[in-house]
Homo-oligomer: A and B are copies of this chain.
Amino acid sequence: MREPTGTGAKEKATMTEQLIGDVADTRVYQEVQHFYGRQMRLLDEGAVTAWAETFTEDGVFAANGHPAPSVGRAAIEAGARKAVEALVEQGIQRRHWLGMLEVAERGDGAVVARTYALIVSTPRGGRAAVHLSCTCEDVLVREDGRLLVRHREVNRDDLPPQ
């Protein structure tokens, strides 16, 4: 009934997903919320290195707004740094909101987190406005007890899905 969006999602749909619902998972759901609060704040405050460290060393960032996925933490950091520097130059403050979270556990122990992403943009001295509406689908894994993004796929609602 519900069609997966994008190639990545199609691949993931072939794997065993189990919706999280028991007590232990209450903790995971909230841990993901907390993780996103921290992760997005790092990006929006320009702490690009710390932000990139929320991805695995071999992490992938794919987006229908990008010509090709960024592969590896260093590439992800470089891409974000360029974007942040451009915003600083233009005097724009971005805020990335993630919400409407759904969390599922995958057969291999990874966590699939689906969110809506709203990007709000405010020019210094100007008017705040919605910049983009997107969906985000993450595959999160645990390293040394902390969640990290191993695969992120962002689809802007104004462009065709990947």
Contact = CB atoms under 8 A, between A and B. Distances in A.
A37 B97 contact: no
B49 A158 contact: no
For this chain, the copies found in one complex come to: 3
A63 to B, nearest CB: 15
A95 B157 contact: yes
Instruction: Determine the interface band of chain A, counting residues with CB < 8 A from chain B.
Output: 35 or more
Chain A at the B interface: SS class: mixed
Given A130-B120, A133-B95, A158-B128, A102 B3 contact: no
Contact of A97 (B29, B49, B100): B100
A100 B41 contact: yes
Contact of A158 (B1, B33, B36, B127): B127
21 contacts: A2-B45, A2-B47, A2-B50, A3-B47, A23-B27, A34-B103, A37-B114, A41-B100, A41-B114, A41-B116, A93-B157, A95-B100, A95-B118, A97-B99, A97-B116, A97-B118, A99-B99, A122-B158, A128-B131, A129-B130, A130-B130
